[in-house]
Amino acid sequence: MGKNDNLRGKSPGRTLITGASSGIGEALARHFASRGHELVLTARRRDRLETLADELRARVNVTVIPADLAADQGVDSLITELDRADLAIDILVNNAGVASSETFQAMGEDTVDCLLSVNVLSLTRLTKCILPGMRARGFGRILNVASVASFQPVPSLGLYAASKAFVLSLTESLAEELRGSGVTVTALCPGLTKTEMVEDIHGALQVPAFMMASAEAVAREGYAALMSGEVVRVPGLANVAAITWAKFQPRWLVRNLGGLAARLTA
């Protein structure tokens, strides 16, 4: 831990985790709790949040605030509840995400709106709301869960990949804007991970289960990167190798190979 991590003498920093009811968010909640962080957990499903909170309260203080970040007032209601409870956030984990394996043309308007609202708009607005307090206190950490899809077009997951490219770009820009402020920003870019969201599109992607990482392993890497102030962390040597290879290839080649893979699995 750094010299500023033991805030208030009670925990290494109060941590808000979105999308905490399952998958990487749930794994992150457990990992932060094991390191003594006071937690604020949010997601749509109150019952799952309460079950997780009951488990973690043996270690740390946990506050549950259900919120639907796809809704127009989702972020506003969450911020209102944080203010009402006087819960200053030292560490923000923007984990909530939505994916769809439909082609762009096949996606309904509701699916498009939901994906962009959760992956882009709510992440941006929540960061915008919580960042001023971090700046004023001279300390804060933000972890944005992006994806290896951030680095290249993915024709079978076009809108999802585009939304995660936004997350990666915003993270890197903020990391530079906030340099020297005491606030760090990290993008966690996992590959395919064993979560409910991925299971929903797993059949469409036709990826063997052994090629997917565990949520717990991704959470460990995300926590380590966040606490060390890394800007970008890609878990898994295979994912790092794939991204490195793509970086040195012409964009037309990467794009065409992605399109070929999408057609073969259609």
Domain boundaries, the chain: 7-264
Higher pLDDT, 156 or 15: 15
pLDDT in tens, 233-252: 999 888 888 888 888 888 87
User: What is residue 111's three-state secondary structure?
Assistant: helix
pLDDT at residue 206, as a whole number: 54
For the chain, the average pLDDT equals 88
Q: Are 42 and 237 in contact (CB under 8 A)?
A: no
Q: How confident is the model at residue 204 (pLDDT cuts 50, 70, 90)?
A: very low
Phi, psi of 174 (to 5 degrees): -65, -35
Percentage of the chain surpassing pLDDT 90? 69
pLDDT in tens, 99-157: 887 889 999 999 999 999 999 999 999 999 999 999 999 999 999 999 999 998 888 78
pLDDT at residue 165, as a whole number: 96
pLDDT at residue 247, as a whole number: 82
- Domain 7-264, CATH 3.40.50.720 — does that match? yes
pLDDT at residue 3, as a whole number: 36
Both tokens assigned to 181? 């402020």
pLDDT at residue 243, as a whole number: 86
User: What is residue 197's three-state secondary structure?
Assistant: helix
Give catalytic residue positions. 160
SS (H, E, C) 204-244: HHCCCHHHCECHHHHHHHHHHHHHHCCCEECCCHHHHHHHH
Q: Is the pLDDT of residue 78 over 60?
A: yes
Q: Are 262 and 156 in contact (CB under 8 A)?
A: yes
Mean pLDDT of 187-214: 67
Q: How confident is the model at residue 199 (pLDDT cuts 50, 70, 90)?
A: low
